[in-house]
C-alpha cells in the first residue's frame, strides 16, 4: 500500500529540506526523501551544503584561521604563543561534530514541522492513476509514496577532469578535500574559483605549499575587477601561489603523489608535483538515479532540469529547485527557491529576486558582493557613479588589526539607486547583508549615507563608501 502525500520532496539539502518545512507550515502533508548516509550508514540530511560544502568548509576555515592568528598575529597584541601545533585529526573531528549537529538539527526540524522523512534514494515510477506521481524510495526497506506534487532538489556533484578521476586519496573532490588527514607538504588545486580559494587557504594556513592552476587568464572573472585585484594582492602576500591562463595536460597519479603537466600563460611546458590534488572546476547538476526519463522530465543542454522562472518543470505538478536547476549554485539561492515553490503551491506569490542574491568567498580577506560589477555596468552601457572606502581608514578595522580591503558602491548616475556593492576585507560576509536589504528596497546611495551606523564598527566603511559616491567621505 503506497503512502499518500500532498507533496513529496526528493533531496534533503538546503533546497529540499527548506521547501519541505515551508510546505508543511502552509498546511500540506509533506514527505522528504534523502539518501545521504553518515559514516554509520544513518541519515545525514542537509545535502552537499551540510555534509561536504558550506558548513564543513567554514569549520576548517575557522580552525585554520585561529592557527594562523596564533602563529602570526598574536605577537602584535603582546601575546607570546610558542610551540603552537595543529592536531589535524582533532580539527577534522570538530568539523565532523559541527556537521552532525546540523544533520540532527534538520531531523529535529522535520519532527517539529511534521514532515515525514524517508532515508533512501527516491526515483520516479510513473504518473499515479488519480493524479500526481508514484515515487519509489530505495533504502533499508523499499516503499512507494504518491505525491500530488513533487519537488526535485537533488543538488549537484563535483565536475571531474577527464583523465584524472577522483580517487579521494590523492585526487580529491570537495569531499576528499574536507577529509585530508595530515597537512600535505605540497598541495595542488585546479581551478581558482570559490572552492579553490577557500580550500587553498585552509591548507596554506596549516603549512602546505599551495599552488592553484587556473585556466582563465583573469582572476575571479565574475568579481568586480578592482575588488578581485585587491584580493589577489592579499593572497600573493600570504604565499598562495595562483597561476593564471594555464592549460592542464596529463595528470599522473601514483603512490608517491600526483604529477600535473601543464602549459603556463607564456606557452611553456611545466610540471607540478604534489602530494595531493584538489580538482575544483565547477559542479554539475545531479539527476542520477531519479529515473526522470520514465516520466519524460525535460533536462536542458547542461543536464540541469529545465524549469521556468517559477521553478516549474515541463511536467504538471513537478517542480525543481537549487543546484539541479539554472542559476548560481548557492545554498541560500536553493533555500529561496524552495520557499517560493512551497508558497506557489499554496496559491501564494512566491518570489526570488536574482538581482539581490549575495555572494561570499570566505577567504581572508573575505570577498562579498551583490548586484552588478563595474565591468558589467560598462558592458550594459549604464551610466553610474562609484564610491570606495578603504578599511585602512576605519577605526574598528585598525583595532582588529585587519585593514586589508575596501567597500565599493556603484550607483545610478541619475537616480542614485544602488546597482552593486562590492567588498573585500574583514567580516564582509556579514556587512554585505546591509547592501542586500538596501538593494531589495531600491535604496539610493544617499539613503545609506544618511543612516546612523554604530561607532566604531566595520559597517561605518559601508556608510563611508556610500558617502564616497557623492565625493564626501568624512574619514578619508
Told to check if 10 binds ligand FAD by CB under 6 A, we report yes
Q: Count CB neighbours of 111 within 10 A.
A: 10
- Taking the complex as a whole, the smallest distance from the CB of residue 265 to ligand FAD amounts, in Å, to 27
Told to check if 292 binds ligand FAD by CB under 6 A, we report no
Radius of gyration from C-alpha coordinates of the chain: 24
Instruction: Choose the one of ligand FAD, ligand NAI, none that binds residue 334, judging by a C-beta under 5 to 8 angstroms depending on kind.
Output: ligand FAD
Contacting range for ligand NAI; rule: CB under 6 A; set: 22-30, 81-89, 116-124, 356-364: 356-364
Residue 293's contacts (CB-CB under 8 Å, 6 or more residues apart) are none
CA distances from 125 to 10, 122, 150, 379, 443 (A): 13, 9, 13, 47, 49
**What are the phi and psi torsion angles at 362 (to 5°)?**
-90, 45
Told to check if 23 binds ligand NAI by CB under 6 A, we report no
Residues 131-170, one symbol each (x = binds ligand NAI by CB under 6 A, - = not), give: ------------------------------x---------
Pick one of 7, 188, 248, 368: the residue that binds ligand NAI (CB under 6 A): 248
Told to check if 331 binds ligand FAD by CB under 6 A, we report yes
- 186-190 and 209-213 strand pairing: parallel
Peptide bond into 456 cis (omega under 30): yes
Q: Are 450 and 390 in contact (CB under 8 A)?
A: no
Told to check if 336 binds ligand FAD by CB under 6 A, we report no
C-alpha cell at position 404: 586589508
Scanning residues 272 to 291, which ones bind ligand NAI (CB under 6 A)? 280-283
Pick one of 13, 191, 405, 426: the residue that binds ligand FAD (CB under 6 A): 13
SS3 214: coil
Q: What is the helix (H) or strand (E) element at residue 439, kind and residue range? A: helix 428-440
Contacting range for ligand NAI; rule: CB under 6 A; set: 63-71, 325-333, 347-355, 468-476: 325-333
> Of the candidates 134, 132, 115, which has an alpha carbon nearest to the alpha carbon of residue 124?
134
Nearest CB to ligand NAI, comparing residues 24 and 178: 178
Nearest CB to ligand NAI, comparing residues 411 and 428: 428
Pick one of 43, 132, 147, 155: the residue that binds ligand FAD (CB under 6 A): 155
- Taking the complex as a whole, the smallest distance from the CB of residue 247 to ligand FAD amounts, in Å, to 25
Instruction: Choose the one of ligand NAI, ligand FAD, none that binds residue 23, judging by a C-beta under 5 to 8 angstroms depending on kind.
Output: none
351 assigned to active site: no
- Taking the complex as a whole, the smallest distance from the CB of residue 302 to ligand NAI amounts, in Å, to 13
Scanning residues 172 to 201, which ones bind ligand FAD (CB under 6 A)? 174, 195
Give the single-character DSSP code of 346: T
- Taking the complex as a whole, the smallest distance from the CB of residue 324 to ligand NAI amounts, in Å, to 13
Residue 132's contacts (CB-CB under 8 Å, 6 or more residues apart) are 146, 147, 148, 149, 150, 317
Told to check if 304 binds ligand FAD by CB under 6 A, we report no
Cα 322 to Cα 328: distance, rounded to the nearest angstrom: 8
**What are the phi and psi torsion angles at 324 (to 5°)?**
-80, -5
- Taking the complex as a whole, the smallest distance from the CB of residue 455 to ligand FAD amounts, in Å, to 30
SS3 279: strand
Out of 66, 349, 351, 455, the active site residue is 455
Contacting range for ligand NAI; rule: CB under 6 A; set: 27-35, 91-99, 192-200, 292-300: 192-200
Instruction: Choose the one of ligand FAD, ligand NAI, none that binds residue 14, judging by a C-beta under 5 to 8 angstroms depending on kind.
Output: ligand FAD
Residue 215's contacts (CB-CB under 8 Å, 6 or more residues apart) are 191, 245, 246, 247, 248, 281
Nearest CB to ligand NAI, comparing residues 91 and 329: 329
Contacting range for ligand NAI; rule: CB under 6 A; set: 34-42, 209-217, 233-241, 378-386: 209-217
Cα 361 to Cα 85: distance, rounded to the nearest angstrom: 27
Residue 172's contacts (CB-CB under 8 Å, 6 or more residues apart) are 166, 180, 276, 277, 278, 279
Cα 111 to Cα 35: distance, rounded to the nearest angstrom: 18
Pick one of 242, 329, 345, 424: the residue that binds ligand NAI (CB under 6 A): 329
Residues noted as catalytic:
455
**Binding site residues, ligand FAD, CB under 6 A:** 10-16, 33-36, 47-49, 53-54, 57, 121-123, 153-156, 174, 195, 286, 289-290, 322-324, 329-332, 334
Where does this chain bind ligand NAI (CB under 6 A)? 161, 190-196, 198, 213-216, 248, 280-283, 328-330, 360-362
Amino acid at each position: 500500500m503506497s503512502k499518500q502525500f500532498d507533496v513529496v520532496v526528493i533531496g534533503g539539502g538546503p533546497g529540499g529540506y527548506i521547501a519541505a518545512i515551508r510546505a508543511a507550515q502552509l498546511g500540506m502533508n509533506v514527505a522528504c526523501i534523502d539518501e545521504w548516509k553518515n559514516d554509520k550508514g544513518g541519515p545525514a540530511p542537509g545535502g552537499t551544503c551540510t555534509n561536504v560544502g558550506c558548513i564543513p568548509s567554514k569549520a576548517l576555515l575557522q580552525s585554520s584561521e585561529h592557527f594562523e592568528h596564533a602563529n602570526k598575529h598574536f605577537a602584535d597584541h603582546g601575546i607570546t604563543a610558542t610551540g603552537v601545533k595543529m592536531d589535524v585529526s582533532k580539527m577534522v573531528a570538530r568539523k565532523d561534530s559541527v556537521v552532525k549537529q546540523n544533520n540532527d538539527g534538520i531531523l529535529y526540524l522535520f519532527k517539529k514541522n511534521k514532515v515525514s522523512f524517508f532515508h533512501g534514494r527516491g526515483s520516479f515510477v510513473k504518473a499515479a492513476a488519480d493524479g500526481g506521481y508514484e515515487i519509489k524510495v530505495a533504502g533499508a526497506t523499499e516503499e512507494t509514496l504518491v505525491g500530488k506534487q513533487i519537488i526535485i532538489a537533488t543538488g549537484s556533484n563535483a565536475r571531474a577532469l577527464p583523465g584524472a578521476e577522483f580517487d579521494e586519496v590523492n585526487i580529491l573532490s570537495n569531499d576528499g578535500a574536507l577529509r585530508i588527514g595530515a597537512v600535505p607538504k605540497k598541495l595542488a588545486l585546479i581551478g581558482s574559483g570559490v572552492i579553490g580559494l577557500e580550500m587553498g587557504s585552509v591548507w596554506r594556513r596549516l603549512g602546505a605549499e599551495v599552488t592553484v592552476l587556473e585556466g582563465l587568464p583573469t582572476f575571479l572573472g565574475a568579481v568586480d575587477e578592482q575588488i578581485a585585484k585587491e584580493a589577489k594582492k592579499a593572497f600573493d602576500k600570504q604565499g598562495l601561489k595562483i597561476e593564471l591562463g594555464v592549460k592542464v595536460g596529463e595528470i599522473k597519479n601514483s603512490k608517491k603523489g600526483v604529477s600535473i603537466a601543464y602549459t603556463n600563460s607564456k606557452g611553456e611546458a611545466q610540471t607540478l608535483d604534489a602530494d595531493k590534488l584538489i580538482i575544483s572546476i565547477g559542479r554539475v547538476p545531479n539527476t542520477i538515479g531519479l529515473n526522470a526519463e520514465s516520466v519524460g522530465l525535460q533536462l536542458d543542454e547542461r543536464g540541469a532540469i529545465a524549469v521556468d522562472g517559477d521553478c516549474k518543470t515541463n511536467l504538471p505538478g513537478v517542480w525543481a529547485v537549487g543546484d539541479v536547476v539554472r542559476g548560481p549554485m548557492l545554498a541560500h539561492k536553493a533555500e529561496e527557491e524552495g520557499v517560493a515553490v512551497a508558497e506557489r503551491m499554496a496559491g501564494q506569490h512566491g518570489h526570488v529576486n536574482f538581482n539581490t542574491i549575495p555572494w561570499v568567498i570566505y577567504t581572508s580577506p573575505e570577498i562579498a558582493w551583490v548586484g552588478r560589477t563595474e565591468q558589467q555596468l560598462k558592458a550594459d552601457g549604464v551610466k553610474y557613479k562609484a564610491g570606495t572606502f578603504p578599511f585602512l581608514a576605519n577605526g574598528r578595522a585598525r583595532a582588529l588589526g585587519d585593514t586589508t580591503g575596501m567597500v565599493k558602491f556603484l550607483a545610478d548616475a541619475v537616480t542614485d539607486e544602488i546597482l552593486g556593492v562590492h567588498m573585500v576585507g574583514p567580516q564582509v560576509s556579514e556587512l554585505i547583508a546591509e547592501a542586500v536589504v538596501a538593494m531589495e528596497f531600491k535604496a539610493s546611495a544617499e539613503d545609506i549615507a544618511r543612516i546612523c551606523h554604530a561607532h566604531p564598527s566595520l559597517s561605518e566603511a559601508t556608510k563611508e563608501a556610500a558617502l564616497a559616491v557623492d565625493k564626501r567621505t568624512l574619514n578619508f
